[in-house]
Structure 1
Amino acid sequence: MLKKGDIVQVKIEDMGNDGEGIGRAEGFTLFIKDAVIGDTVQALVMKMKKTYGYARLMEVTEPSPDRVTPACPVARQCGGCQLQSMSYEKQLEFKENKIANHLRRIGKFEEIPMEPIIGMEHPFGYRNKAQFPVGRNKEGKLVAGFYAGRTHSIIDNRKCILGVPENEIILEKVLSFMEEYAIEPYNEETGTGLVRHILTRYGFRTKQIMVCLIINGKVLPHKDKLTESLCQIPGMTSISLNVNMEKTNVILGREIISLWGQTYIEDYIGDVKYQISPLSFYQVNPVQTEKLYGQALEYAGLTGGETVWDLYCGIGTISLFLAEKARKVYGVEIVPEAIEDARNNARINGIHNAEFYVGKAEEVLPRKYREEGITADVIVVDPPRKGCDESLLETIVQMAPEKVVYVSCDSATLARDLRYLCDRGYELRRCRGVDQFGETVHVETVTLLVRKG
């Protein structure tokens, strides 16, 4: 009988949704973080349940042919990347299988019209946004980096290889400034200290840079010295403070105080230009986002005469892509600032056939349908991780668009929602993964539903 503290040898035969290796020992299933399919490992049992347990990887005694040396020296401690020990080809296979398994198990689909996953040419250096927590380590040294997996312990890492090289320069300058002027980082336990996070954004096409310090207050002492230092970085466009004085795990507060330059940076997806503020939701991988939206556009099959609804539209990223090919696009988003950004983005691109509404999609859509008779030929949804509200799915069924294009960042909730729609008159015609997040377990999925006869 396995128990906590036992050391066992395990052959890894599968991987879980979170990238953990799965093997068996003495009849029990063990989940082992950092192990790769095909590895034989020695592992220390950490916790046991009735039929399964969790173990810590101690040694890889026989490496999998798909195992590679992680490019990042702190990959194992840091919670950001889960798949760096696996070859990129195998990562793509893992993600494709993850989507298919969710559609089978949760969605109960027997035939899955999967198309080959769209991978990345360069699975490093792709993130245009980073949020670095700031604190002190056990020795009292000022650190910035990322939280270790499932903790709020900061792994000092100023050189994240998923981000842009400029991030390292920015962190060096901000931490040097804090040390020189004795500005304390925020302490989660006591609620004291000033600087909580350093947020950076980078325009891949425009080369514009944004730096925003999230602070536990409204004033940053010696702020002119910081702006003077940061302005030496080529491309610096926007420097601001974000006020968050709550005792919370939520990173950003609502108030932005501009210190220097514009309150936004600009970047492009395809030919569409977007203004991005510190609070804007904007896809973190612009190269793959263009492929993702291109796929959604292909699935929509627009000919120029369609009325399209884009639900959970954010700052209008997909809406404006669709507007170039549709007769009319309506976007809905609950965040008022995002809708302001969407309207502004339509204006700066000279797009006049897109209208945007603030509110819950599940409330706005039925109201417009009932009161104004606005119908839809195509509905595009790109909801948050929790998927669509059931009342929204109900309204989609009532409006009966010819096509529904569902873009998802969580294939489990996608499978649930597709099952709802396919039980009520729709058929799953096409499905494709797009890797937006190389070296991690996350994957985007685009699906096409067509109304039956």
Structure 2
Amino acid sequence: MLKKNDVIEVEIVDLSHEGAGVAKAEGLVFFVENALPGELIRMRVLKVNKKIGFGKVEEFLRTSDQRNQNLDMAYLRTGIADLGHLSYPAQLDFKRKQVKDSLYKIAGIADAEVLPTLGMDEPLHYRNKAQVPVRRVKDQLETGFFRKHSHDLLPIEDFYIQDPVIDQVILFTRDLLRRFDIKPYDEKERTGLIRSLVVRRGHYSGEIMVILVTTRPKIFRIDQLVERLIEAFPAIKSIMQNINDQPGNAIFGKDWRMLYGQDYITDQMLGNDFQIAAPAFYQVNTEMAEKLYQTAIDFSGLTAEDMVLDAYSGIGTIGLSVAKQVKQVYGVEVIPEAVENSRKNAEINGITNASYVCAAAEKAIQDWLKEGIRPNVILVDPPRKGLTASFIKASSAMQPDKITYISCNPATMARDIKLYQEQGYTLKQVQPVDLFPQTHHVEAVSLLIRADSSAK
């Protein structure tokens, strides 16, 4: 019987959905970080349960020809690039397999048309947003990333997948915080002032927003800090403060203050201008988000007579991207600032046939049904937990011809597709899209058509 600290020779036979190597030994399945299919390793046993175990690589006896040998291990240890050790073409294949496997195992769909994953030409430095914890390490304020499954901060200066200008802003702000002796947050003691830095930069506009997340309102010498920041980075259009005095992992609290400029930045997507408020959701990879949304638009086969429901509409990026091609767009979103942004974004782009409400999607659908509003195309882009069963019922009650589902989690997408099938919808095709190169995350667009619909 294997026990902790045993060292055995194993072959890696697969990758888990989170990108860990999978090995089998003595009736157990082991998950091993930084190990790829086809590799032969000496593995140290870290932990053993009844059926599964966790191991780490002690020595490579044979390496995969798909291994990226040049990766700084800090990116694997923190999960910043938890698939960065795999060659990029193999990452794209892995993501397509994830989608196919989820559809088969969860929804029982074996014959789905899952297209090859759409990837990036340059799959690095793509993130337009950084959320970086600030902690004390070896008696100095540091910015970086937590090691996986811990709250130990690993100081990092080059984040590898982030816009390099964002990295520069973080380092400059870190140095200012040190110089002004602003105390970093200590989770155990619940002391210190600065918890996190959040930086956004418009992919096309280059406009920058800096958010200081603090435990209390007063920041010592804040005027000087702001002055130095905007002097060094004239592209900064917004400096915000968020106050979060609660323990736990949530980055933002409820209290927002504007320290400089305006409370949003502007960027472009698919030819429209968008105002992005500090708490609003905006895809972190603009180049691939455009491909993702364009895929959803193409799948939907929209016409000038279509009425579209944009559920989980965020700041209106998808709905406003299709508005000029259709008769009417109805959007629903629960974050008030995002709804405000979407209405403003419609105005900025001269779009008059899109309306947005702030409500739970199920509630909005029920209200629209009472008013006799029945969109024939529904676009959904839910969070990782997917759709609720009540949303699926309510949206099916509208009897749309097509439902175009944008997903950031193949498992919940497969579960939801199964429920839509029970409501009389058929899955036509799926397109995986790589919004998060070097990580195990995958987005996908699925087209569902009502079985008795004339839509093709």
Provide TM-score, normalisation by structure 1: 0.97
Correspondence for 1:298: 298
User: Aligned-pair distance for 1:200?
Assistant: 0.3
User: Aligned-pair distance for 1:70?
Assistant: 4.1
User: Aligned-pair distance for 1:248?
Assistant: 2.5
Amino acid of the residue matched to residue 167 of structure 1? I
User: Aligned-pair distance for 1:289?
Assistant: 0.4
Correspondence for 1:76: 76
User: Aligned-pair distance for 1:424?
Assistant: 2.0
User: Aligned-pair distance for 1:8?
Assistant: 1.1
Correspondence for 1:42: 42
Correspondence for 1:148: 147
Correspondence for 2:6: 6
Report SS of the residue matched to 1:130.
Answer: strand
Q: Is the 8 A contact 1:96 1:117 kept in 2?
A: yes
User: Aligned-pair distance for 1:437?
Assistant: 0.1
The CA distance in 2 between the partners of 1:218 and 1:7, in whole Å, is 52
Q: Is the 8 A contact 2:80 2:159 kept in 1?
A: no
| Residue 450 (1) aligns with residue 449 (2) | yes
The CA distance in 1 between the partners of 2:70 and 2:237, in whole Å, is 34
Amino acid of the residue matched to residue 134 of structure 2? V
Correspondence for 1:176: 175
The CA distance in 1 between the partners of 2:148 and 2:141, in whole Å, is 20
Correspondence for 1:249: 249
The CA distance in 2 between the partners of 1:236 and 1:247, in whole Å, is 30
Correspondence for 2:263: 263
| Residue 378 (1) aligns with residue 377 (2) | yes
Matches within 5 A, 1:256-335: 256-335=256-335
Correspondence for 1:64: 64
Q: Is the 8 A contact 1:135 1:186 kept in 2?
A: yes
User: Aligned-pair distance for 1:181?
Assistant: 2.0
Amino acid of the residue matched to residue 428 of structure 2? R
The alignment covers a number of residue pairs equal to 451
The CA distance in 1 between the partners of 2:75 and 2:198, in whole Å, is 21
Q: Is the 8 A contact 2:210 2:238 kept in 1?
A: yes
Correspondence for 1:360: 360
Q: Is the 8 A contact 1:134 1:145 kept in 2?
A: yes
Report SS of the residue matched to 1:201.
Answer: strand
The CA distance in 2 between the partners of 1:190 and 1:425, in whole Å, is 55
Structure 1 residues 164-173 or 108-117, which shifts more? Answer: 164-173
Q: Is the 8 A contact 1:128 1:284 kept in 2?
A: yes
Correspondence for 1:167: 166
Provide, for residues 72-109 of structure 1, a one-character-per-residue CA deviation record: whole Å limited to 9, x for no partner. 35123212221011000000011000000000000111
Change over 3 Å in CA distance of 1:255–1:168 after alignment to 2: same
Q: Is the 8 A contact 2:76 2:83 kept in 1?
A: no
User: Aligned-pair distance for 1:39?
Assistant: 1.3
User: Aligned-pair distance for 1:13?
Assistant: 0.9
The CA distance in 1 between the partners of 2:202 and 2:59, in whole Å, is 41
Provide, for residues 178-236 of structure 1, a one-character-per-residue CA deviation record: whole Å limited to 9, x for no partner. 22222100111111100000100011111111111101111211112211221122422
Q: Is the 8 A contact 1:80 1:149 kept in 2?
A: no
User: Aligned-pair distance for 1:267?
Assistant: 0.5
Q: Is the 8 A contact 1:15 1:37 kept in 2?
A: yes
Amino acid of the residue matched to residue 374 of structure 2? T
| Residue 217 (1) aligns with residue 216 (2) | yes
Correspondence for 1:432: 431
User: Aligned-pair distance for 1:170?
Assistant: 1.7
Report SS of the residue matched to 1:117.
Answer: coil
Correspondence for 1:207: 206
The CA distance in 2 between the partners of 1:228 and 1:296, in whole Å, is 43
Amino acid of the residue matched to residue 417 of structure 2? L
Correspondence for 2:131: 131
Structure 1 residues 31-40 or 125-134, which shifts more? Answer: 31-40
Correspondence for 1:406: 405
Structure 1 residues 342-351 or 253-262, which shifts more? Answer: 253-262
RMSD: 1.2
Q: Is the 8 A contact 1:72 1:161 kept in 2?
A: no
Provide, for residues 102-141 of structure 1, a one-character-per-residue CA deviation record: whole Å limited to 9, x for no partner. 000001112111112111111110000001100011x212
Q: Is the 8 A contact 2:277 2:338 kept in 1?
A: no
Correspondence for 1:235: 235
The CA distance in 2 between the partners of 1:395 and 1:174, in whole Å, is 47
User: Aligned-pair distance for 1:352?
Assistant: 0.5
Provide, for residues 246-291 of structure 1, a one-character-per-residue CA deviation record: whole Å limited to 9, x for no partner. 2221001222222222221110111011111211110000000000
The CA distance in 2 between the partners of 1:320 and 1:59, in whole Å, is 53
Structure 1 residues 245-254 or 89-98, which shifts more? Answer: 245-254
Q: Is the 8 A contact 1:264 1:276 kept in 2?
A: yes
Amino acid of the residue matched to residue 56 of structure 1? K
The CA distance in 1 between the partners of 2:450 and 2:431, in whole Å, is 19
% identical aligned pairs? 37
Matches within 5 A, 1:74-113: 74-113=74-113
The CA distance in 2 between the partners of 1:76 and 1:290, in whole Å, is 28
Q: Is the 8 A contact 1:70 1:84 kept in 2?
A: no
Q: Is the 8 A contact 2:96 2:115 kept in 1?
A: no
The CA distance in 2 between the partners of 1:72 and 1:324, in whole Å, is 46
Structure 1 residues 441-450 or 254-263, which shifts more? Answer: 254-263
Structure 1 residues 219-228 or 281-290, which shifts more? Answer: 219-228
Amino acid of the residue matched to residue 386 of structure 2? G
- Write out the 4+ residue segments of structure 1 that deviate beyond 3 Å after TM superposition: 70-73
Correspondence for 1:15: 15
Amino acid of the residue matched to residue 395 of structure 1? A
Amino acid of the residue matched to residue 53 of structure 1? G
Amino acid of the residue matched to residue 195 of structure 2? R
Q: Is the 8 A contact 1:241 1:259 kept in 2?
A: yes
Matches within 5 A, 1:386-405: 386-405=385-404
